[in-house]
Chains A and B, each alone.
Chain A
Amino acid sequence: MNQSMISAAVTMGQLQHKLDTISNNMANSTTNGYKRREAQFSDILFQQINSEALNPTEAGRLTPNGIRLGSGARVSSTALSLEAGTLQQTGRLLDVALTQPSFYFQISGVDNNGNVTQQFTRDGAFYLSPSANNANVMELVTSEGNKVMGVDGPITIPADHSKITIGQNGQVSVTLNNGAIVESGQLAIVNMVRPQLMLSVGQNLQAPQDIPLNQLIEEVNAGAGNFVQQGALESSNVNISTEMTEMIQTQRSYQFNARSLTIADQMMGLVNGLR
């Protein structure tokens, strides 16, 4: 069997994965807080073919005996790029951006089995939702309605408020209609120390999988430093022109491999045409 055909076909399939990654990046170029992924390749399986049995002493030989033949390339990983996106001023009080690249908001999400799990996002476009249990308070939620976690549980805000202020350290202060100022908790912010081991679960959320949470994140010391900006959103870190260049390049690679396959096919045709 002609090995070229297998190598070329395998590689074309893997290049398709890279194209998928690029398409997804481009599709999310306007998603707040989206981090691009980059597909990287690795060569696969070299097989050793010993052909020197004919002549064990080949004069002028440079490399160890035999020849080593690879069988194409595969996507070895799609690494998450944590580069910060640009901050866009929105002026909306419930829009919050994180200014440190590896910091994430903590969200109380629901996994596929319906269990409540800790999930993380960089998308700081939050909303208020009436609480199911208490008509006097509202909950701070994401656009999907998941509760935003504070250091001491989900953040709740009195319903009769006139203004919400989120400090640079994540402290949420609420001005009530009567002019009084009350503290409504502190946004739970984590430092993602192993971002590559988190699973992207859709809806702009990252969730841990199979690995204990304390190995993946570090709690950020509440109230220390300034890493939160109110009235701004972080745009995605996708650079359309870079993605476009990558896409064209990947497409060309795809063509090159398709050409390898065609050539291999024509060679088989020649063999068929021997007689």
Chain B
Amino acid sequence: MLRGFYNAAAGMLAQQRKQEILTNNMANANTPGYKADNASLRTFPTMLLQHMGETEMNGKKLPNNYPIGPAALSTGVYVQETTPNFLQGDMRETGIKTDMALLQGQVPLDPETGKPGGLFFRLNVNGEERYTRNGHFSVDAEGSLVTPEGYYVLGTDGNPITVRSDNFTVNKDGTVIDNGAVAGQIDVAHITNPNNLVKEGSGLFRLDGNGNAPSALGNPNITYNVQQGFVERSNVNTEQTMTEMLTAYRAFEANQKVLQAYDRTMEKASNEIGRIG
């Protein structure tokens, strides 16, 4: 059997999946706080090909096997992981007082990865903590600061922030001043390794494993600004995404051509070998 058949098919599937990820990035080029996904491809686990044969020794035939070729063979490729790109997005002014953008300043490097950590708004989603960079909030009927899906934005005390009206001010450090009094301080979570975050849709991130992220407040090595009346734009680069889409398309096409070539080989094998006349 021709192993390359499956190789080419796996290549097509991987490029299609990559295309799906790029399409989703492109679709979210206008979503506030969206972090673009990067697809990384990986080869299938390699395998050694063994030649089964026999050697003659003292007139007796003994079975033996030995590896073929210098390298191990891989029979395909797949999309191993999607890594969000946690770079800061641009700021966009909306003029709506319940919109907030998180502008990340100094964040200490994670000792394990050597990469800077990430800062996120802390949300309460049905009793569990979630994190988001989408600062497009609103005020619900009870006066709590919520996301458009109705999830509570948590303050430093772990409770939702309650305001009297939409007409409040937010200081750079996240302190909410409502009607001349402090109504609470918006909490900012510090994720030491953002790669541990799992996307859940609606701009939500869940921290993989147990435990919640510590607060960035009180950490002298972290600086940030909360900008009221702004949202953080998606960090999708449309030009780059379009280029990658075209590249993925051509790679898909190339794999298709390889598949066709194999098919023609098979055609010869089935129809021409051993034909009489």
Q: How far is the CA of A216 from the CA of B142 in the complex (A)?
A: 9
Report the minimum CB–CB distance from A72 to chain B (whole Å): 4
What number of residue pairs across chains A and B have CB atoms under 8 A from each other?
A: 206
Chain A, residue nearest B97 (CB):
A82
Question: Are the CB atoms of B29 and A267 closer together than 8 Å?
Answer: no
Residues of A close to B34: CB separation below 8 A: 43, 73
Please classify the interface of chain A as helix (H, G, I), strand (E, B), loop, or mixed, using the class held by over half of its residues: mixed
Known contacts: A77-B148, A194-B166. The answer to whether A266 contacts B249 by CB under 8 A is: yes
Report the minimum CB–CB distance from A39 to chain B (whole Å): 9
Q: How far is the CA of A176 from the CA of B208 in the complex (A)?
A: 76
Instruction: Tell whether B200 is near chain A: CB-to-CB under 8 Å.
Output: yes
Q: How far is the CA of A41 from the CA of B144 in the complex (A)?
A: 21
Report the minimum CB–CB distance from B225 to chain A (whole Å): 21
Chain A, residue nearest B136 (CB):
A40
Instruction: Tell whether B53 is near chain A: CB-to-CB under 8 Å.
Output: no
Instruction: Tell whether A27 is near chain B: CB-to-CB under 8 Å.
Output: no
Interface size on A, residues (CB 8 A): 70
Partner of B95, one of A10, A43, A81, A195: A81
Residues of B close to A11: CB separation below 8 A: 27-28
A178-221 contact mask (Cβ, 8 Å, vs B): 1 or 0: 00000000000001111111000000000000010001101000
Q: How far is the CA of A3 from the CA of B79 in the complex (A)?
A: 15
Question: Are the CB atoms of A79 and B98 closer together than 8 Å?
Answer: yes
Instruction: Tell whether A93 is near chain B: CB-to-CB under 8 Å.
Output: no
Partner of A44, one of B32, B99, B201, B249: B201
Interface residues on B, range: 35 or more
Instruction: Tell whether B31 is near chain A: CB-to-CB under 8 Å.
Output: yes
Residues of B close to A77: CB separation below 8 A: 136, 138, 148
Question: Are the CB atoms of B165 and A191 closer together than 8 Å?
Answer: yes
Chain A, residue nearest B164 (CB):
A193
A248-270 contact mask (Cβ, 8 Å, vs B): 1 or 0: 01101100110110011011001
Question: Are the CB atoms of B83 and A270 closer together than 8 Å?
Answer: no
Q: How far is the CA of A46 from the CA of B178 in the complex (A)?
A: 36
Question: Are the CB atoms of B28 and A41 closer together than 8 Å?
Answer: yes
Within 8 A of A (CB), among B183-222: 195-196, 198-203, 208
Q: Could you list 10 A-B pairs, sorted by A, with CB under 8 Å?
A: A52-B80, A54-B44, A68-B37, A69-B20, A69-B82, A72-B24, A72-B27, A79-B138, A191-B165, A215-B141
Contacts beyond the supplied A68-B199, A267-B19: 9 A-B pairs with Cβ under 8 Å: A18-B30, A58-B81, A62-B83, A63-B196, A76-B148, A79-B98, A250-B30, A256-B29, A260-B27
